[in-house]
Amino acid sequence: MTQEKNDNNVGLSFLSLKCVLFLFFGGLGCILAFLPLHMRDIGLTGNEGRIVSIVAPCIAIIGPMLVGPLSDRWGAGATQYSRHMRGLLSTFLLVGAIAYTSLLFVPKVSRLQQRNPAVNFLCTSDSGYVLQEKCEDSECYDWPDDNFGSLFLSHCNYSCSYNVTEPPSVAGALYSTKSPNYHDDVDIDNDEEAGSGSPVLEEEAESKNTYLGKPNNEDHSTKKTTKAKEAPPHLCLTSSSKTMCHVYTKFSEQLTINVSLLPSPATILYDTKWCRFPVSDKVSCHMPPGYQKCAVMCDLLDPYSRQNSLLVDAKCQKTIGDDQVTFWSYLILRSFADIFPVTVVALLDSCLITATRDTQVGIGSHLAIAALGIAIFPPVSLYSYMTVIDLLGISNPTVPLYAVPIITFAVLSVIAGIIVIFDKSMPLSPVDYWLHSNSGSFVVKGAGIETVAVTVVLVLLGTLWSTLDSYLPWHLLLELKGPELLVALTLTAGALPSIPFLCYSESIINYCGHSHLFITAFTFYIIRFTGLVYFVNPWWILICEALEVFTLGIMWATAMLYMKQLVSRHLTTSGQALAVIAHFCLGRSIGAVLGGVLSENDSLIPVYQISAVVAAVIASLYFIIYHCCIRPKCLRRSTATGYRNPHAPLQGTNANGTYTPLKVYNRRDQTNNNQQPNRY
């Protein structure tokens, strides 16, 4: 009777802990899916959003780094530990809800009339400049004194239909940013007519069966054409005493020059449609005989999208609101808010480890409940709001769509915090701080090196996870044009299949081994990245997300149990905090950096391609190092010391034929309290 009563009490106490896990991780799934879209919704640019994604995880390190050791230190007072832990958990849950809610009050900035003005690069024998179409109701861009960047030139050719000493009279096609065909040669009538006409596209002239200055005779045309072919366009840049020339031929794809631009003076603003920005550096183009009144004209490749392009800031846009206030206020509030969820994850992981340590209940069932919350709340909250809006026929709702996930997270975190405060039966048992005084016998020598190795592995896994998930909502909505609900369903597709695996996660880990499961995670990242490269239908992305059961679900259960074995019991929370810092802070920040650097024109396809190769390299190296170096060494050491494996039924008889149980640290023999801990 007493045993049944104790089992019932344990079940009730675990019920409250599962409720907290269900609510908190359900809300966490909401903000993970929609914070990238919320940044764009309030007016942050792509580069500003990347900066936030990089900086916020770095600042979030502060939370678990401070709270982990503090929680372990409080374990010295076992009678007060439960109260202290409840205070920490409830505080971080409630303050985190407030911090994320504050993001809804960041002033929104609107960028109207944003477009890419037509632009070309022109160069004569003594100067070079950028000719750019003016924006509506605005002056020419005022370049700062320290501007310096790259111009990516293509399709350079001689143009004799443009006189650089006269104003352009046709606002049109000459200044388009793309020219599909390369022109080997140009025919001009004579030097007097060259440059006296209006600028027109050579393609347009050809379509009308006319030529730029139709030659008077065939011989003259052949002579001019031969000269052009013999002397392809030369662009020379002079800095101090050094001159470097670039030659553009019909086989050239791109010429890159690094220059600075000067403001467009009023004296050379011939009309209200064009701005001419002189190049401050000494730029000149060699002109062949007979072409002295011509100019070399080049198109500019992606002048407004490449990160290193000098013209990125010169595109047309009308801003309503203060973009600097919006960016800095969002960056500060977001960096502060991200401290709390990662700290709560570390505390809850520690609670699971300590609460299930001396019971028959494993951590797998609790993690399955957390995955269930992630699977349910993001799509349900978003779909419910969209349904209500449609039923009521509200065209301009007061609450923006991307504010709903943030509000959902705040509400669920508050409810979880209230449960933690008032449920004093929650199993928040103290860590075994008393072990610290046992002459260090439970700090196994050599475990520090393996702890560092596991931390590095978690950083690499976190980098791949962030490279994929940090910008995935942008990929789905901006590139593949998927619906908002699909973003929420990606969380469901990843979490729902994880539930049965997590329920038996400890058995899976005992059978497969920690390192094998880490290698499996890297392997499945290869498949996920490859699928993202080739899937053009946004709904097919759900197949890739279903593989997250191995890249995040089972992987994180493995990391928790591995850290449990590697660190001393009195440092349980610090060990879990280290795992959180490695994967969800450092790895997340590094992944955001790589995703931002490797993306081209806001396209994430190059990121996925490179990440798939990186994951393949890491998985191969990890497999080789483990099976050729680490595993044989551990086998020899285990045989020499005579330690027996508590997983003896698995040793040598399991189906995979290669499994060798990894070392377990800091475990007492249950039959002899004076015996030294097993290490195997």
Cα 462 to chain centroid, rounded: 11
Question: pLDDT higher for 469 or 617?
Answer: 617
> Between β-strands 149-159 and 255-259, what pairing exists: parallel, antiparallel or unpaired?
antiparallel
Q: Six-digit token pair at 1?
A: 């009777």
The confidence score (pLDDT) of residue 630 equals 72
Alpha-carbon distance 514 to 453, whole Å? 13
Domain regions of the chain by residue span: 8-109+322-435+454-641, 113-320
User: Is a pLDDT exceeding 50 seen at residue 182?
Assistant: no
Convert the pLDDT of each residue in 38-49 to its tens digit. 888 888 888 888
Alpha-carbon distance 353 to 566, whole Å? 13
User: Is a pLDDT exceeding 70 seen at residue 35?
Assistant: yes
CB 277 within 8 A of CB 96: no
User: Exposed, middle or buried: residue 105 (CB in 10 Å: 0-12, 13-18, 19+)?
Assistant: exposed
Question: pLDDT higher for 22 or 221?
Answer: 22
User: Is a pLDDT exceeding 50 seen at residue 440?
Assistant: no
The confidence score (pLDDT) of residue 154 equals 84
* Confidence band of 441 (pLDDT split at 50, 70, 90): very low
Q: Average pLDDT for residues 490-503, to the nearest whole number?
A: 91
The confidence score (pLDDT) of residue 602 equals 67
Alpha-carbon distance 328 to 321, whole Å? 13
Residue type, 240: S
* Confidence band of 230 (pLDDT split at 50, 70, 90): low
Q: Is residue 379 classed as helix, strand or coil in its secondary structure?
A: helix
Alpha-carbon distance 255 to 298, whole Å? 10
CB 27 within 8 A of CB 382: no
User: Is a pLDDT exceeding 70 seen at residue 664?
Assistant: no
* Confidence band of 178 (pLDDT split at 50, 70, 90): very low
The confidence score (pLDDT) of residue 224 equals 40
Residue type, 185: D
Length reported for the chain:
680
Q: Average pLDDT for residues 372-388, to the nearest whole number?
A: 89
Convert the pLDDT of each residue in 462-477 to its tens digit. 999 999 888 888 888 8
Alpha-carbon distance 168 to 190, whole Å? 21
Query: Smallest Cα–Cα separation from 585: which of 93, 35, 63?
Result: 63
Could you tell me which CATH number the domain at 8-109+322-435+454-641 has?
1.20.1250.20
The confidence score (pLDDT) of residue 12 equals 60
Convert the pLDDT of each residue in 302-341 to its tens digit. 887 776 788 877 777 777 778 889 999 999 999 999 999 9
Q: Average pLDDT for residues 68-73, to the nearest whole number?
A: 81
The confidence score (pLDDT) of residue 138 equals 67
Show the CA angle centred on residue 340, arms to residues 566 and 580, nearest 5°: 20
Helix (H) / strand (E) containing 319? strand 316-320
Q: Please report, for residues 17, 114, 115, 143, 321, the alpha-carbon distance to residue 111 in angstroms, rounded to integers and kept in the order given.
A: 46, 6, 10, 20, 9
Q: Please report, for residues 158, 160, 228, the alpha-carbon distance to residue 187 in angstroms, rounded to integers and kept in the order given.
A: 10, 9, 9
The confidence score (pLDDT) of residue 364 equals 85
Query: Smallest Cα–Cα separation from 557: which of 431, 458, 676, 444?
Result: 458
Q: What percentage of the chain reaches a pLDDT higher than 90?
A: 25
The confidence score (pLDDT) of residue 305 equals 73
* Confidence band of 638 (pLDDT split at 50, 70, 90): low
User: Is a pLDDT exceeding 90 seen at residue 282?
Assistant: no
Point out the least confidently predicted range of 56-70, 155-169, 510-524.
155-169
Convert the pLDDT of each residue in 116-143 to its tens digit. 788 888 888 778 888 888 776 667 777 7
* Confidence band of 567 (pLDDT split at 50, 70, 90): confident
Alpha-carbon distance 578 to 346, whole Å? 8
- The phi and psi torsions of 480 (rounded to 5 degrees) equal -90, -5
Highest mean pLDDT among 188-202, 467-481, 484-498: 484-498
Q: Please report, for residues 154, 256, 513, 515, 624, the alpha-carbon distance to residue 631 in angstroms, rounded to integers and kept in the order given.
A: 55, 51, 11, 10, 10
Point out the least confidently predicted range of 12-16, 329-333, 574-578.
12-16
Cα 290 to chain centroid, rounded: 54
Q: Average pLDDT for residues 646-674, to the nearest whole number?
A: 37
- Strands in 255-259's sheet, in edge-to-edge order, are 255-259, 149-159, 295-300, 119-123, 128-133, 274-278
Dihedral class, residue 252 (left if φ above 0, else alpha if ψ from -120 to 50, else beta): beta
Alpha-carbon distance 42 to 32, whole Å? 17
Average pLDDT, the chain: 75
Question: pLDDT higher for 508 or 441?
Answer: 508
Q: Average pLDDT for residues 513-522, to the nearest whole number?
A: 90
Question: pLDDT higher for 330 or 219?
Answer: 330
Question: pLDDT higher for 617 or 5?
Answer: 617
CB 568 within 8 A of CB 576: no
Point out the least confidently predicted range of 95-99, 324-328, 397-401, 633-637.
633-637
Alpha-carbon distance 594 to 464, whole Å? 9
The confidence score (pLDDT) of residue 211 equals 28
User: Is a pLDDT exceeding 50 seen at residue 208?
Assistant: no
Helix (H) / strand (E) containing 151? strand 149-159
Per-residue DSSP letters for 546-581? Answer: HTHIIIIIHHHHHHHHHHHHHS-GGGHHHHHHHHHI
CB 490 within 8 A of CB 548: no
Query: Smallest Cα–Cα separation from 28: which of 496, 345, 278?
Result: 345
Question: pLDDT higher for 218 or 71?
Answer: 71
Show the CA angle centred on residue 472, arms to residues 469 and 473, nearest 5°: 120
